[in-house]
Structure formats: structure tokens, C-alpha cells
């Protein structure tokens, strides 16, 4: 029986809420799949795993890396939110609203490149996963920062609106990595190929 063991940052579990896992199990019904959740404070170790999925910037320098997706990080609000009709928003306007983030790394990125300072912010929420952030934005609770692939369906259905923010473009990347001394098992190669292909379709 083939076995696939990998770790994934707990806030990125939505990466697996696509057709990838079900397609993989249809192709390999006898395969045993074990997924280990890690929080952002966990030092990703691949000694006992086939690979780890996380933020590209978190990958060890000596690891073999494969990019899964690298997309724009955008701000989104519900159509009925106070900023729903804004054509472009400034950092000062954002500071006056509740800002919702899926994790500390994305908060830090927005803070450093857009907000510049944590002083005088109306409010910030850092939630455990991307799905929760999207749901709260759709309820009109605040401004959500999400990678564009995560919000694409909600935008297409009219449930979210992308805000144009003055300043530098933000990007968010996820990769898989493993030890160079441990070749990637063929079954792990198949899984990652399916996952990468899924996000290639999102970006087309």
C-alpha cells in the first residue's frame, strides 16, 4: 500500500479544499494519506515527512522547493461595506476600518508595506485560516486581506469587491519543500503535480 505523509501550515488547509485530494484518492484508492497540521511557530521538519507545504519565504535555505502558487494579496469587502463603492482607498482610509488577516505573516506584510505603523489602527483581527477571513468579509464585518485565488469565486458571484489600494503591490506565495537528501517519492510527485495544476488553472 502506498503512503503519503506531509505537513501543512494549519491556516493553509484551504489549499486542500479543492478537487485535488479527492482526485488523488480516486486514482489511488488504496493509498494511505496522513496530513500533519503545523502552526506558524512550528519549525517545519521534513525528516519524517515526504514534504511540507507553507509560505515560500518560510522554506529552509537548504531545502528543495516547488512553487504551488504565487498571487497578488488583495483587500476585499462586501458590496454593502462602507468602502464598497470606493474606486481606490489609501492607507489612511484603511486605518479607520476593521482589518482582518488570516495569519501573522500576512499582517506583517500589510503593516510594513501599506500601513507603515500599527499605531492608531481602528482594529485588527488575526484569524486561524483563510476561509474564516473570507466569510467575515462577506458578512460586511471588515476589510479582509486574501490571496486573489481565495476570493475569486466570491468576487465572481458578487459577494466580495476587490479594493484598489494606493501603494506597492503585495504578493503571497506558497510552496512545498523537502530535504535534498531524500528524493521525493513518486506518489508525492503525483500529488504535488495535481496541486500545482489546480492553481495553474486558477491563474489562467
DSSP string, 87-124: S-B-HHHHHTSEEEESSHHHHHHHIIIII--STT-SEE
**pLDDT per residue as tens digits for the range 40-96:** 555 455 567 899 998 888 888 888 999 988 888 899 999 999 999 987 898 899 999
pLDDT band, very low/low/confident/very high, at 171 (cuts 50, 70, 90): confident
List every span in the chain annotated with CATH 3.40.190.10.
3-69+172-203, 71-165
Instruction: Write down the pLDDT at residue 145.
Output: 95
The more confident residue out of 75 and 204 is 75
Fold that domain 3-69+172-203 belongs to in CATH: D-Maltodextrin-Binding Protein; domain 2 (3.40.190)
Q: Poorest-confidence range of 16-20, 124-128, 181-185?
A: 16-20
Inter-CA distances, 21 with 24, 64, 143, 156, Å: 5, 23, 31, 24
pTM, two decimals, is: 0.78
Instruction: Write down the pLDDT at residue 82.
Output: 94
What CATH code would you report for 71-165? 3.40.190.10
Amino acid at each position: 500500500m502506498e503512503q503519503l505523509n506531509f505537513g501543512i501550515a494549519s491556516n493553509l488547509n484551504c489549499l486542500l479544499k479543492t478537487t485535488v485530494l479527492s482526485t488523488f484518492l480516486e486514482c489511488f484508492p488504496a493509498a494511505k494519506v496522513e496530513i500533519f497540521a503545523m502552526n506558524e511557530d512550528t519549525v517545519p521538519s521534513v525528516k519524517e515527512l515526504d514534504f511540507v507545504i507553507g509560505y515560500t519565504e518560510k522554506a529552509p535555505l537548504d531545502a528543495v522547493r516547488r512553487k504551488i502558487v504565487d498571487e497578488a494579496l488583495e483587500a476585499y469587502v462586501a458590496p454593502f461595506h462602507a468602502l464598497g463603492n470606493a474606486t481606490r482607498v489609501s492607507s489612511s482610509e484603511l486605518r479607520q476600518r476593521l482589518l482582518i488577516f488570516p495569519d501573522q505573516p500576512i499582517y506583517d506584510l500589510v503593516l510594513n508595506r501599506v500601513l507603515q505603523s500599527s499605531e492608531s489602527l481602528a482594529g485588527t483581527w488575526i484569524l486561524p485560516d483563510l476561509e474564516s477571513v473570507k466569510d467575515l468579509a462577506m458578512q460586511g464585518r471588515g476589510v479582509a486581506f486574501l490571496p486573489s485565488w481565495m476570493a475569486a469565486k466570491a468576487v465572481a458571484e458578487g459577494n466580495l469587491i476587490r479594493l484598489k489600494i494606493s501603494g506597492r503591490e503585495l504578493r503571497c506565495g506558497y510552496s512545498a519543500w523537502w530535504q535534498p537528501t531524500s528524493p521525493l517519492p513518486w506518489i508525492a510527485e503525483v500529488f504535488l503535480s495535481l496541486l500545482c495544476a489546480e492553481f495553474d488553472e486558477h491563474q489562467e
